Amino acid sequence: MTGVGAKAYDPGSASGECPVPLLRRPGAASRERTSELDRLLGRVAAGDTAAFERMYDEVAGAVYGLILRVVRDAAHAEEVAQEVLIEVWRSAPRYDPSRGGAMAWIMTMAHRRAVDRVRSEQAASDRADRAGRREITPAHDEVAENVEKRLEHERVRRCLDTLTPLQRESITLAYYEGYSYREVADMVATPLGTVKTRMRDGLIRLRNCLGVA
Amino acid sequence: MSDDLHLLAAAYALDAVADEDERRLFEAHLTGCASCAAEVRGFRTTAVRLGAAAVRTPPPGLRERVLAEIREVPQASPATAGADVIPLRSRRPGRTRFAVALTAACLVVAAVSVGVALNAQRSDRPGPADRTVAAVLSAPDARTVTGSVTSGGTVTVVFSRSRGRAVLTSSGLRSLPTEKTYEMWLIGPHGVRAGGLVRPGADGRVRTLVAGVLADANKVGLTVEPAAGSRQPTTRPIALLGI
């Protein structure tokens, strides 16, 4: 039985109000930027290198930041980010806009590559070491990003704060550290079903808090 | 105990399903479950927000190197069937890359062209049996249970009461001498029925997915039998999973 997880699952509070009203309305500006990104990717698909440059400026910070967060090592992160961005160029003609938007496509690719890197290339001791210094929320970039990115960062941090500590732990270990759900279950000595449930309940809560359709 | 296959949606969207077989089983399930696919999309979009919040200023040399390299890299031709192409592991040194390609090829053979062994009948091309497997994997009530095999390896059973079948897959099964085979059993209050022969490849994964008739079974077992299979188990089970 998935006892603990089943108890933790509370659809009422999962769909409940977020602490800050702003959180339920993703800004119109970010939606515009998304469609702008889709338009750029369409031009990239046609081999437009100038469009690729503009797209680079839009996404490179998020791509590099996420990869750095997962692989932890700046040199490795740079290498993986380069691979991903070149892969974006290479496979842009295969991008299907009906499947969730350009940003999701690019970031999913970045995340998979980063996870792939930590799973295949880092020694077990290295991973254990990383586990020792896990952080819950994304680190702040000292170099000033634009205001909208800061707001988004703050929004995500606040939404992460609405999760139970156990939900937050399983989601961050998986997404930001690249651990599989089986590894997470081992690390926190919890049954597999419970970990799967925590991840699901936590993501539902996050999804609602962030106003994802 | 078995878990609802849907429960994997979040772990899948977080790229936290590391086992390739498990991932493929879930992807097969997604093709037939529109609500699961929609849930995965929402979870992915949520994960992307987590990812984008980790934004950092990229190292200064990266832009120039990327822009220089794309001028040398040809673009792919558009995918024929609108496939969601998210390539993994494309830059490995030769040997690893080959091994990965080989593993992927084996899995594709297992999961896609599914030459299914139904009661020891093997076929090389997709037939009714393949459709049976696909129907189980994509069933809305598909559930999954994994257990270890005493002689080594694990087996995973995906079963659907509505489809009345159980599909068994494995990893790390030890290879047997040619005169022996693994056989799947469906065990219920009214007896034990043969589910099909399970033949692992050199990597211990089943080459052909077996879809046994579920009926009133509440356990799935695995035994070692003579190569032709048995009508009833002749040895002690090396795996026994409650379903």
B39, closest residue in chain A (CA to CA) = A204
Q: Which one of B12, B19, B48, B71 makes the best mutation probe of the A interface by having the most chain A beta carbons within 10 Å?
A: B48
Question: How large is the average pLDDT for residues A48-76?
Answer: 95
At B79 the pLDDT is: 61
pLDDT of residue B62: 96
Give residue-wise pLDDT tens across range B145-184. Answer: 888 899 888 888 888 888 888 888 888 888 888 899 999 9
A21: Cβ contacts below 8 Å, ≥ 6 apart: none
Of the candidate ranges A140-149, A175-184, B128-137, B211-220, the one whose mean pLDDT is the lowest: A140-149
Helix H or strand E segment including B131: helix B128-137
Best residue in B15, B73, B143 to probe A by mutation, most A CBs within 10 Å? Answer: B15
Q: Residues B3, B6, B12, B14: what is their CA dihedral angle, to the nearest 10 degrees?
A: -100
Q: Which residues of A touch B67 (CB under 8 A)?
A: 49, 52-53, 56
Q: Are strands B165-171 and B3-4 parallel, antiparallel or unpaired?
A: unpaired
Picking from A40, A82, A94, A154 by the largest number of B CB atoms within 10 A of its own CB, the best residue to mutate is A94
Give the model confidence (pLDDT) of B125-134 as tens digits: 445 667 778 8
How large a percentage of chain B has pLDDT more than 70?
A: 77
Yes or no, beta carbons of A105 and B86 under 8 Å apart: yes
Half-sphere exposure of B81 (CA within 13 A, CB side): 1
* Disruptive mutation site among A57, A89, A109 for chain B (greatest number of B CBs within 10 Å): A89
Nearest CA in chain A to B71: A49
Q: Which residue has the tokens 């790229």?
A: B15
Q: List, for residues B175-227, the tens digit of each pLDDT value.
A: 888 899 999 999 988 888 998 888 887 777 776 677 788 888 999 999 999 99
pLDDT-based confidence at A13, cuts 50/70/90? very low
In terms of C-beta density within 10 A (0-12 exposed, 13-18 middle, 19 or more buried), how is residue A117 classed? Answer: buried
Beta strands in B106-242 (DSSP E): 143-148, 154-160, 165-171, 180-188, 191-198, 210-213, 219-226, 239-242
- On chain A, the residues whose CB falls within 8 A of the CB of B56 are 61, 64-65, 68, 139, 141, 143
The domain A28-122: what is its CATH number? 1.10.1740.10
Q: How far apart are CA A92 and CA A101, in angstroms?
A: 12
pLDDT(A174) > 50:
yes
Please tell me the predicted confidence (pLDDT) of residue A175: 97
Cβ-based contacts of A138 with chain B (< 8 Å)? 50, 53-54
- DSSP state letters, B20-63: HHHHHHHHHHHHH-HHHHHHHHHHHHHHHHHHHTT--PPPHHHH
| Distance between B228 CA and the closest CA of chain A, angstroms | 36
Identity of the residue in B43, B51, B84 whose CB atom sits nearest the CB atom of A207: B43
Give the range among A3-12, A136-145, B79-88, B129-138 with minimum mean pLDDT. A3-12
Domain boundaries along the sequence of chain A: 1-18+127-213, 28-122
What is the least distance, in Å, from the CA of B72 to any CA of chain A?
A: 10
Question: Nearest Cβ partner of A52 from B42, B70, B76?
Answer: B70
Q: State the residue for tokens 């049976």.
A: B132
Cβ contact B3–A78 (<8 Å): no
Minimum-distance CB partner of B70 among A89, A149, A200: A89
Q: Which of A69, A89, A183 sits opposite B54 (nearest CB)?
A: A69
Burial (CB count within 10 angstroms: exposed 0-12, middle 13-18, buried 19+), residue B69: middle
Query: Is the Cα dihedral A151, A154, A158, A160 positive or negative?
Result: positive
0.90 surpassed by complex ipTM: no
Q: Is residue B14's pLDDT more than 90?
A: yes
Question: If DSSP states are collapsed to H, E and C, what string results for chain A?
Answer: CCHHHHHHCCHHHHCCCCCCHHHHCCCHHHHHHHHHHHHHHHHHHCCCHHHHHHHHHHHHHHHHHHHHHHHCCHHHHHHHHHHHHHHHHHHHHHCCHHHCCHHHHHHHHHHHHHHHHHHHHCCHHHHHHHHHCCCCCCCCCCCCCCHHHHHHHHHHHHHHHCCCHHHHHHHHHHHCCCCCHHHHHHHCCCCHHHHHHHHHHHHHHHHHHHCCC
Nearest CA in chain A to B80: A94
**pLDDT category of residue B44 using cuts at 50, 70 and 90:** very high
Q: How much is the average pLDDT of B112-130?
A: 41
Higher pLDDT pick, A34 / B32: B32
Q: What is the pLDDT of residue B83?
A: 37
CA distance B73 to chain A (A): 7
Q: Do A109 and B47 touch (CB under 8 A)?
A: no
Q: Where are the domains of chain B?
A: 1-243
Tokens of B143: 């559930």
pLDDT band at B15 (very low <50, low <70, confident <90, very high): very high
Farthest-apart Cα atoms in chain A, separation: 55
B220-233 burial, b at 16+ Cβ within 10 Å, e below that, comes to: bbbbbbeeebeeeb
Q: Which residues contact B5 (CB under 8 A, 6 or more apart)?
A: B25, B26, B29, B142, B143, B144, B158
Q: In what order do the strands lie in the sheet containing B239-242? A: B191-198, B180-188, B219-226, B239-242
Task: Give the CATH architecture of domain A1-18+127-213.
Answer: Orthogonal Bundle (1.10)
pLDDT at B61: 94
What SS3 class is residue B12? helix
Spatial separation of the C-alpha atoms in residues A167 and A157, rounded to whole Å: 14
